[in-house]
C-alpha cells in the first residue's frame, strides 16, 4: 500500500538540540493554552498517540478541548499544525488507556496528536454519514474489510495527504529534538491503547500503526546511514 507521508520533508537526524524544543517552529501557536497537568517525567513525551477528531475542526477543536480539560496538538485537513501547550508538559487526551511498559494512563507519557477527520462512518448506500449526521463524499473514504492489527473493519473518513505529511514531519521533528527520549516504538494509535473503547485512527490512516512505526524507523535509520 502506498503511504502518503513519504512525501514529507523530514528534519535530518543528527546531534540533539541543546534543549528539547517546547514549541514546534512550523506550528500555529494558539492562545490561551490548553490545560496541562505537570511536566513529563523526562521533561519530554516518550512518544505520541494518533487520534481523529470525529467532529469539530481547526480552532474550534482546540476551543472544545480546552473547555473539556484536554491538551493535544491538532492537524487540520489542509495540513496546518496547531499547538496550544508546551511539549515539556503533559495533558489529558487518551482517557482510560494502557500500554506495556507505560502502564495505565498513557497521557502522562505520550503527547496527543488529533487529525481532523470524521473517523468511522455509516454507509447508507446513497449517502455516507458521520457519527454526528454530517455527509462525507465517498471519495474521501477507505473501507477496511476485516480487522487487521489496530484497524477495525468499517468505512472510515481518510486523513488527507497533507495531514499525513504533517504528522510524519512533526514526529520526526520531535525525534530530532530529543532522540534519546522520543521513541518511534511509542507512536501509538488511540485504538491500540484503548482497544475496547476507540477506533481511531483505524482506517483513517493509510496504513496500520505497526506498519507506520516501521516506516518511521526505517526512514530515520536510512537518513542516519546516509550521514545526514
Entry pTM: 0.92
**What residues form DSSP beta bridges with 104?**
98
Q: Any residues with CB less than 8 A from the CB of 169 and at least 6 apart, and which? A: 8, 9, 10, 11, 26
Q: Is 146 in contact with 107 (CB distance < 8 Å)?
A: no
73-75 β-sheet, strand order: 28-29, 81-83, 73-75, 110-115, 47-52, 187-189
Q: What is the pLDDT of residues 159-217, one digit of tens each?
A: 999 999 999 999 999 999 999 999 999 999 999 999 999 999 999 999 999 999 999 99
CA distance 76 to 188: 19
Q: What is the pLDDT of residues 25-81, one digit of tens each?
A: 999 999 999 999 999 999 999 999 999 999 866 668 999 999 999 999 999 999 999
- Which domains are delineated in the chain? 4-225 (3.40.80.10)
Amino acid at each position: 500500500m502506498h503511504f502518503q507521508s513519504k512525501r514529507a520533508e523530514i528534519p535530518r537526524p543528527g546531534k540533539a538540540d541543546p534543549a528539547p524544543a517546547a514549541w514546534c517552529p512550523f506550528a500555529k501557536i494558539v492562545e490561551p493554552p490548553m490545560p496541562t497537568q505537570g511536566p513529563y517525567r523526562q521533561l519530554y513525551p516518550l512518544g505520541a498517540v494518533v487520534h481523529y477528531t470525529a467532529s469539530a475542526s481547526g480552532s474550534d477543536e482546540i476551543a472544545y478541548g480546552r473547555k473539556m480539560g484536554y491538551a493535544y496538538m491538532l492537524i487540520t485537513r489542509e495540513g496546518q499544525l496547531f499547538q496550544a501547550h508546551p511539549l515539556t508538559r503533559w495533558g489529558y487526551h487518551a482517557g482510560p488507556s494502557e500500554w506495556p511498559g507505560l502502564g495505565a494512563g498513557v497521557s502522562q507519557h505520550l503527547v496527543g496528536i488529533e487529525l481532523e477527520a470524521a473517523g468511522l462512518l455509516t454507509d447508507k448506500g446513497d449517502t455516507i454519514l458521520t457519527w454526528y449526521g454530517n455527509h462525507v463524499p465517498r471519495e474521501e473514504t477507505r473501507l477496511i474489510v476485516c480487522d487487521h492489527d489496530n484497524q477495525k473493519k468499517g468505512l472510515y473518513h481518510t486523513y488527507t495527504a497533507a495531514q499525513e505529511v504533517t504528522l510524519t514531519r512533526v514526529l520526526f521533528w520531535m525525534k530530532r529534538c530529543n532522540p534519546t527520549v522520543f521513541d518511534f516504538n511509542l507512536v501509538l494509535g488511540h485504538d491500540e491503547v484503548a482497544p475496547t473503547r476507540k477506533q481511531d485512527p483505524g482506517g483513517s490512516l493509510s496504513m496500520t500503526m505497526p506498519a507506520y512505526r516501521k516506516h518511521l524507523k526505517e526512514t530515520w535509520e536510512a537518513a542516519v546511514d546516509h550521514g545526514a
